[in-house]
Chain A
Amino acid sequence: MKRSAPLRRPGDSRLVVLIPYLWLLALFLVPFVIVLKISFSQTVMALPPYRPVLDLAAGWTGLKDFAAHLTTDAYALLGSDDLYLRSYLKSLEVAGLSTALLLAIGYPIAYGIVRSPRALQPLLVMLVVLPFWTSFLIRVYAWMNILQRDGLLNDVLMRLQLIDAPRVWLSTDTAVYIGLVYSYLPFMVLPLYAVLEKLDPALLEAAADLGCTRLRAFWRVTFPLSLPGVAAGVLLCFIPITGEFVIPDLLGGSRTLMIGQTLWTEFFSNRDWPVASAIAVALLALLLVPILFYERLQKRAIGETP
């Protein structure tokens, strides 16, 4: 990329880069290094509740003392107690299944918006985005209203005589899936719409002229060309859902324990900072490949060569 306007003087350019760079280094990268360090520490009853604490004032001996006390206890605990492994697998299962549901529900919506009259499209897109601007917590809470024992869902189902007695909806896996699909739907629809909207209608006309049925044309032409949008939507949903805390905590039961909740409990209830850090490191290791994929897509979407 050539150096171009308006940053022709190297001094300005350096400052523009340096300020956000330093901020991100200090508040995004360095904190991860600290998490990594504490995941190799021991839990103690003190403030801060971990040991060793790096004492830079003590110089070389302080560093040696620090290194001698590092331990892999926290990781050993993660491996030995199957609570952790189960919540990992549960997170992957929930994230995978809900992302598949989101794709199945989001694709027809995005496709429908692209097919609607052009003048109407901005309004429809805004209507899909608008709930995303309202509170995440409120949207989850709205479903607590509906799904509770004497809530609207049971009420309606009983009036329609589909069920005789109130069913338990809240604190089930079903409730978690409903909450996840509801909350993440805009993240799936938007990237799909962005890709579908750019498709050249002439391609479908050509397919029709050559005798392709509409359904076949969709699978042979539209869907393959929309794959970048599918990938973006899937990653935008799958990665945050894997670490999701609020939705399984409020809508799920004790059996839907996801890894984000385990980390939260270790930190806030058990006050075990090294184990919470080890969970964070393991979760990040799991998500590293999808995150790198996402970054590539983002750079390509923004028109940058990776």
Chain B
Amino acid sequence: MRRTSAFNVIAVLAGLAFLYLPIGILVIYSFNASRLVTVWGGWSLAWYRELLHDDAMIAAAWTSLRIAALSATAATVLGTLAAVALTRAGRFHGRLLFSGMAYAPLVMPEVITGLSLLLLFVAMNIDRGFWTVAAAHTTLTMCFVTVIVQSRLIGFDRSLEEAALDLGCPPLRTFMTITLPLIGPAVIAGWMLAFSLSLDDLVIASFTTGPGATTLPIRIYSEVRLGVKPEINAICTIKITVVALGTIASSVIAKRGASRRAREGLGIQM
């Protein structure tokens, strides 16, 4: 039955070309010797060298990495708890509101989330900066973790957990020794997605940041608004390389369940 027609092949190839050509062009032009972005002046690492001296950009990258690591970790803990609550806690008071809040940030326009969080921080008289951006990113990304972990929790056999409990294993220990290893790949995938979303976010960070906490996207955005610059091509290439390596490494590590999870959309069941 599975006949692949020429139309199918062309659709997939054209789709992939559309997705990868712009990124490929960006990467190639980051090695351009010419300052003019469109004139090819031969291969060069000039813009990478220039980046090394851009202290503001390096500081922004460092801030972003710290915020991403902190918020992804917090989001993974909270999101996993939320997923366990939604699949295993049965009925509880306010469940409808809880599940509503657990999924909504996934589609909520970022300007709304950003503005509302900023107004909360102002109303609470909290100084804005590193911590407020981290808290905002935790709120944004935990729902992605919830969705990924939840689809994994539903997919696996509960009899192992029940056997452990029947044999007198305390619930917390059952969770740590049986459940967590089973949902481990989904938890790791959730952390990685939360990390890269935090690293990428411009809108929510712009609303919730304060003096001294300029993130990399805020920095890139302020440069990009003024036009295309070869240094920006270079920093984008570095980021793409890191993300690509991370994704390939994680898919190699999680090779065992790879084809299964891929069918579930790399764990992002939407």
Interface residues of A (CB under 8 A from B): 1-9, 12-14, 16-17, 19-21, 23-25, 27-32, 34-35, 38, 48, 105, 108-109, 111-113, 115-118, 121-122, 124-131, 133-139, 141-146, 148, 150-152, 155, 182, 185, 187, 189-191, 193-194, 197, 201, 204-205, 232-233, 235-236, 239-240, 242-246, 250, 260, 263-264, 267-268, 273, 276-277, 280, 283-284, 287, 291, 294-295, 298-299, 301-304
Contact = CB atoms under 8 A, between A and B. Distances in A.
Contacts of A268: 206
A112 B90 contact: no
Interface residues of B, number: 116
B225 interface: yes
Interface in B107-143: 107-112, 115-117, 119-120, 122-123, 135-136, 138-139, 142
Please provide the 10 A-B residue pairs with the shortest distance between their CB atoms, ordered closest to farther: A243-B109, A122-B262, A31-B116, A108-B11, A109-B15, A20-B82, A112-B12, A142-B22, A112-B8, A3-B90
Contacts of A273: 119
A34 B123 contact: yes
A130 B112 CA distance: 27
B101 A155 contact: no
8 contacts: A13-B90, A21-B94, A111-B11, A128-B16, A131-B23, A144-B227, A260-B109, A301-B269
A152 to B, nearest CB: 6
A15 B264 CA distance: 30
A143 B147 CA distance: 31
B19 A25 contact: no
Contacts of A152: 25, 38
A28 B243 contact: no
Main secondary structure of the interface of A (DSSP, over half): helix
Nearest to B150: A302
Given A16-B89, A31-B116, A190-B268, A185 B15 contact: yes
A283 B12 contact: no
B111 A12 contact: no
Given A29-B101, A109-B15, A115-B4, A280 B264 contact: no
Contact of B120 (A5, A30, A117, A303): A30
Contacts of B81: 16, 19-20
B269 A302 contact: yes
Interface in B244-262: 244, 246-247, 251, 258-259, 262
A280 B111 CA distance: 8
Given A20-B78, A134-B23, A141-B232, A298 B103 contact: yes
A112 to B, nearest CB: 4
Given A31-B119, A185-B15, A246-B202, A138 B240 contact: yes
A232 B107 CA distance: 11
B213 interface: no
A3 B240 CA distance: 45
A233 B265 CA distance: 13
Contacts of A260: 109-111
B26 interface: yes
B26 A141 contact: yes
Given A126-B262, A131-B23, A302-B154, A6 B120 contact: no
B104 A291 contact: yes
Contacts of B115: 35, 263, 267, 276-277, 280
Contacts of A194: 263-265, 269-270
Which of B85, B107, B199 has most chain A Cβ within 10 Å? B107
B39 to A, nearest CB: 8
A243 B112 CA distance: 8
A20 B85 contact: yes
A256 to B, nearest CB: 16
Contacts of A143: 22
A5 B162 contact: yes
A145 B120 contact: no
Contacts of A239: 107-109
Nearest to B37: A145
A32 B90 contact: no
B104 A155 contact: no
B227 to A, nearest CB: 8
A251 B15 CA distance: 21
A88 to B, nearest CB: 13
A127 B26 CA distance: 18
Contacts of B3: 115
